[in-house]
Amino acid sequence: MTFIPDLSTLLAFSLACFILTITPGPDMTLFLGRTLAGGRAAGIAAFAGASTGSLIHTTLAAVGLSALIAASPEAFFVLKIFGAGYLIFLAVQAIRSGSTFRVDTKGAPKPRSLKASWLTGIGINLSNPKIILFFVTFLPQFIQAGDPHAGAKLFFLGVYFIVFAAPFCVAMIFAADGLSAALRRRPKITRAIDWIFASVFSVFAVKILMTQGR
């Protein structure tokens, strides 16, 4: 199978995948927040959305469209503005409505729909220009220049990264779900978490605006 890199390359890429998976980012912030909001199902839905976005990025990178976006100052600028604006919107939403728990008039938690969590995961992932740079600058380092199967290998590595990250992310979701019941009994702590999530989204928005294209 010509699209599979050699073993040494795959091992080096696996180590890089592990480091990237445990490094906090907008996707991780979202699916952990959704887990605290609606339980593991909501967290997994948000993670599935982010993974769907990564799969779309993988496909675009394999056919060369991501490289065109990263190389175009105008397109990259628009994506940065959109991505940062979306994160700011989520930060404001966290303060106004609560990123963790929304309570109805009877005092029962009012969870977001799984579809909404999935779509939000896709939106955060697709609007993050740092992810485009990941696919057009990081992945090619594990493919030899002039490789006639470069596109297929790029797609394989992108899918491999998604599959590799899944068990680690699901474990984080289950761990966060274990804390949700205790947090429901402490509204002051959940409100503090809302501000923490808002702050994190805001920081990532600034980082996105500072991201430079190729």
Confidence of residue 44 (pLDDT cuts 50, 70, 90): very high
Residue 102 has pLDDT above 60, yes or no: no
Q: How far apart are CA 61 and CA 137, in angstroms?
A: 10
- Is the pLDDT at 182 greater than 80, yes or no? no
Most confident of 72-81, 112-121, 163-172: 163-172
**43 pLDDT exceeds 60?**
yes
Question: What is residue 55's predicted lDDT score, i.e. its pLDDT?
Answer: 93
How far is the CA of 117 from the CAs of 71, 94, 211, in angstroms?
31, 14, 26
Which has more pLDDT, 62 or 11?
A: 11
* pTM tops 0.75: no
Helix (H/G/I), strand (E/B), else coil: 109: strand
Given a cut of 60, whether residue 24 has pLDDT beyond it is: yes
Q: Which residues pair with 106 in a beta bridge?
A: none
In the predicted model, is pLDDT for residue 47 greater than 90?
Answer: yes
What does the pLDDT read at residue 98?
A: 59
Token pair in block for residue 195: 């501000």
Q: Which residue has the higher pLDDT, 107 or 177?
A: 177
Distance CA 92, CA 88 (A): 6
Please report the pLDDT score of residue 197 as a whole number. Answer: 75
Closest Cα partner for 40 from 175, 214, 208, 192?
175
User: For the ranges 17-26, 78-87, 108-117, 157-166, which has the lowest average pLDDT?
Assistant: 108-117
Q: How confident is the model at residue 101 (pLDDT cuts 50, 70, 90)?
A: very low
